Amino acid sequence: MKTRITELFGIQYPIIQGGMHFVGLAELAAAVSNAGGLGIITGLTQKTPEALAAEIARCRTMTDKPFGVNLTFIPSVTSPDYPGYVRAIVEGGVKIVETAGNNPQKWLPGLHEACVKVIHKCTSVRHALKAQAIGCDAVSVNGFECGGHPGEDDMPNFILLPRAAEELDIPFVASGGMADGHSLAAALALGAEGVNMGTRFIATKEAPVHENVKQAIVQASELDTRLVMRQLRNTERVLANAAVERLLVKEKELGASIKFEDIIEEVAGVYPRIMKSGEMDAGAWSCGMVAGLIHDIPTVKELIERIVAEARQIIGKRLAAML
| Residue-level pLDDT at 76 | 75
What is the pLDDT, as a whole number, of residue 50?
98
Burial of residue 110 (CB within 10 Å: 0-12, 13-18, 19+) is: middle
Mention every residue, 6+ apart, whose C-beta is less than 8 A from residue 83.
none
DSSP 4-37: HHHHHHT-SSSEEE---TTT--HHHHHHHHHTTS
Locate all alpha helices (DSSP H) within the chain, ordered by sequence.
4-9, 26-34, 49-60, 82-91, 108-113, 125-134, 157-167, 181-189, 199-202, 211-219, 242-254, 264-267, 271, 300-313
- Dihedral Cα 195, 199, 204, 208, nearest 10 deg: 120
Distance CA 260, CA 267 (A): 9
The set of residues, in sequence order, having a beta carbon less than 8 Å from that of 282 and lying 6+ positions away, is: 243, 270, 273, 274
Summarised one tens digit per residue, pLDDT across range 251-304 is: 999 999 999 999 999 999 999 999 999 999 999 999 999 999 999 999 999 999
User: Mean of the pLDDT values across residues 138-143?
Assistant: 98
What are 111-132's pLDDT values in tens digits? 999 999 999 999 999 999 999 9
pLDDT in tens, 141-175: 999 999 999 999 999 999 999 999 999 999 999 99
Nearest to 103 by CA among 116, 121, 80, 78: 121
Cα separation, 260 vs 141, whole angstroms = 27
CATH number of 4-209: 3.20.20.70
Q: Where are the domains of the chain?
A: 4-209, 221-286
- % residues pLDDT > 90 (the chain): 98
The pLDDT of residue 75 = 76
pLDDT digits (tens, 9 = 90+) for 299-311: 999 999 999 999 9
pLDDT band at 95 (very low <50, low <70, confident <90, very high): very high
Q: Is the pTM of this model over 0.95?
A: yes
Share of the chain above pLDDT 70, in %: 100
Closest CA to 85 of 62, 54, 39: 54
